[in-house]
Amino acid sequence: MGKNLGKDLTSGSIAKHLLAFSIPMFAGNLLQITYSIINTIWVGNIIGKDGIGATTVSIQILFILVGISSGSTVATTILVSQYYGARNMKMVERIVNNSFSIALIFGTVLTVAGILSSNQLLRIMNTPPEVFVQASGYLKISMASFLIMFLAYLISSILRGIGDTITPLTFYIIGVVLNAVLDPLLIIGIGPFPKLGLNGAAYASVIAQVIAMTIGLVYLNRKGHILAIKPKKFRLDKDILIMIVKLGFPSAVQQTLISVGAAVVTSFVNVFGASAIDAYGAASRVDSIASQPAMSIGSAASAVTGQNLGAKKPERINEIFKWGMTMTIIITGIISIIAISIPAQILSIFGIGKDTDVIQTGKVYLRIVGSSYVFYAVMYLITGIINGAGHTVITMVFSILSIWFVRIILSLVLSETSLKLNGIWLSIVISNAIVMLVNILYYFSGRWKKEVIKHEVLFPEK
């Protein structure tokens, strides 16, 4: 099996495991978001606010693909963590090989489909004419790197399953540093580099991701890691494929519907013009940062839950819930207070400080939506525990309820009233509150304790 087989999360302090796991995870997630934020800062300060609008519309579409890839790899994390907890290393290796096979096939298909449908997707989202051309170029270039992004999510998911969050953090750092260096070179055209404008920001991200991924794969192969690429072992085992689809399809649907829902909400905002989407673009970057601690703790909770259930230690799950709630509420609460208190100063970082209308709209957004950060933070934690137990269908149902039957319907209705844009912001708060409440109720019902992955029956140690 090789070296670097991760960390045992089935014994010792739950609080220490959550912290040790979530801090590198948070740093990695934050660095991943930094890809987008670095682009936004350069674009806002060099190209202007319409450049931010173009990237915002494009990123909402890209998030759909991100949702598919991250949701699909949830199954891998669940299976790897539970079999690693059960010390069935042969099954861990089989799951890894099958997951790579699926990612290569699925990722290639989505990459081609995404490139071919870019302009049509922008039209469906009511993209303002003044940002359409820039958004089209940025989106097509970004779509071309989807397969690389998919593989990056897969590797991170496997590493999380075996308790390793340090290795992916290292690769994220490499990628972000390269992105930061390449952005001004390709946007402005410094020295031998061509002046590419907004497309330069997209190329910078693509090049950085490819280089970081290549370095990561070379490192893993040289170290004899469980993730060493061995094409001869890539296969599609029927039993494993069925389990990956069973667990991964609901998560992929969940993440995709969340991303599509966000795109639909963005299309509602687009109706109010370029200034509205510019403000929403900058403010939603703040949302991305604010959600990272909660997402990291939720991912940690999922991996720790999976390993402990695989090791037949379900009594430790209540500790995961208790410590996870304490951490996520305190951290996200502080972020919420900051966002509500100094919204203008935060937004000015993105180069829109000179546009009064954009700043005012963004300030109102952060003061309304920022008040609900703790709601979705709690949701991320409980979703992590439920997913770690293998109950991905129920979290999918909760997401559909929150996004499609609350947020989108309310956004459509309230935006037509005197509230206008504020009606859209309010619908986000209400949907966050509802999804938090249904997750809490489901957790205390105890239904998530029902065993989903029956290790001894399906995949005994061989």
Tell me if 206 sits within 8 A of 141, measured CB to CB: yes
Measured between alpha carbons, how far is 35 from 172 in angstroms, rounded to an integer? Answer: 9
Q: Give me the residues paired with residue 3 across strands.
A: 225
Tokens found for residue 248: 């991964």
More confident residue, 125 or 337: 337
Domain that holds residue 226: 14-449
Q: Is residue 461 included in any domain, yes or no?
A: no
Helix/strand/coil for 3: strand
> For residues 171 and 216, what is the distance between their CA atoms, to the nearest angstrom?
6
140 pLDDT band, cuts 50/70/90, is very high
Closest CA to 405 of 261, 212, 235, 203: 261
pLDDT digits (tens, 9 = 90+) for 327-357: 999 999 999 999 999 988 888 877 665 667 8
Q: In Å, how far are 85, 249, 306, 309, 387 from 458, measured between CA atoms?
A: 16, 19, 17, 16, 19
User: Is 427 inside any structural domain?
Assistant: yes
Tally the domains of the chain: 1
pLDDT at 457: 42
Q: Quick one: which of 25, 32, 29, 77 has its CA closest to 324? A: 25
455 falls within a domain: no
* Coil/strand/helix, residue 225: strand
Q: What is the pLDDT of residue 462?
A: 42
Give the separation between CA 307 and CA 50, rounded to whole angstroms. Answer: 47
Instruction: Choose from 33-42, 99-108, 167-176, 216-225 the range with maximum mean pLDDT.
Output: 99-108
CA atoms of 119 and 452, how far apart (whole Å): 42
pLDDT above 80 for 455: no
pLDDT of residue 329: 95
**Tokens at 115, concatenated:** 């490139």
Give kind and range of the element (H or E) at residue 252.
helix 238-270
Asked if the structure places residue 246 within a domain, the reply is yes
Residue 185 within a domain = yes
pLDDT at 264: 86
Mean pLDDT comparison of 30-34, 171-175, 434-438, highest-scoring range: 434-438
State the number of CA atoms in the 13 A half-sphere of 362 facing the CB.
Answer: 33
Which pLDDT value is given to residue 452? 66
Within a domain: 430: yes
Residue 124 in domain:
yes
Cα gap 284→434, rounded to integer Å: 20
Tokens representing residue 365 in the block = 């957004």
pLDDT surpassing 60 at residue 304 = yes
* 188 within a domain of the structure (yes/no): yes
